[in-house]
């Protein structure tokens, strides 16, 4: 969800650091170099697309010192580049709030009316996160972002 929000505001908060090479995510574990620390966000790019993850501690003994972190996925994927993101804490909280809103809203956003043989369905409107959170997201909005194209 955070990548979708970043695309909406055209801002990934990239700090300029790139790690290139074969980056494997297996069973929710990623092996990066030690330039990444716990709590960093990472924008991963590969042949099958892109994802953003927050790096979490893998293990007390070998974890961050070895550049090994947990990420919130079960997918096994190979990426080609990792871009370190410096996501502000208040944006991270806002993204979590938006994600919770998306999880809790009803799946059916349409209202239907019928008049005799005429049937009409329309969106209920006003409940898209892009509309509801526009004002809160405006301070992070950019004209363009190099990572998003």
Point out the residues of the chain with pLDDT beneath 70: 60-66, 106-112, 121-126
Q: Which of 60, 56, 10 is nearest to 36 (CA)?
A: 56
pTM: 0.79
Q: Strands across the sheet with 29-31, in order? A: 49-54, 41-46, 77-85, 14-26, 29-31, 68-70, 56-57
pLDDT (0 to 100) of residue 124: 59
pLDDT (0 to 100) of residue 23: 92
pLDDT (0 to 100) of residue 65: 57
pLDDT (0 to 100) of residue 14: 95
Q: How far does the chain reach from its first CA to its final CA, in angstroms?
A: 19
Given CA atoms 111, 136, 1, 140 in this order, what sign does their dihedral have? positive
Show me where the domains of the chain are located. Answer: 2-140
Three-state SS sequence of the chain: CHHHHHHHHCCCCEEEEEEEEEEEEECCEEECCCCCCCCCEEEEEECCEEEEEECEECCCCCCHHHCEEECCCCCCEEEEEEEEECCCHHHHHHHHHHHHHHHHCCCCCEEEEEECCEEEEEECCCCCHHHHCHHHHHHHCCCCCCCCC
pLDDT (0 to 100) of residue 75: 84
């Amino acid at each position: 969800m955070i990548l979708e929000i970043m695309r909406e505001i055209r801002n990934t908060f990239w700090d300029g650091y790139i790690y290139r090479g074969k980056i494997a995510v297996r069973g929710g574990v990623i092996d990066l170099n030690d330039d990444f620390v716990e709590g960093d966000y990472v924008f991963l790019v590969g042949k099958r697309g892109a994802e953003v993850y927050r790096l979490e501690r893998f293990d007390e003994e070998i974890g961050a010192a070895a550049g090994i972190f947990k990420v919130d996925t079960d997918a096994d994927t190979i990426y080609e580049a990792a871009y370190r993101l410096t996501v502000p804490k208040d944006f991270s909280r806002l993204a979590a709030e938006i994600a919770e809103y998306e999880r809790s809203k009803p799946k059916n956003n349409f209202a239907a009316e019928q008049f005799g043989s005429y049937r009409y369905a329309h969106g209920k409107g006003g409940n898209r996160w892009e509309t509801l959170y526009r004002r809160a997201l405006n301070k992070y909005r950019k004209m363009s972002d190099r990572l998003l194209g």
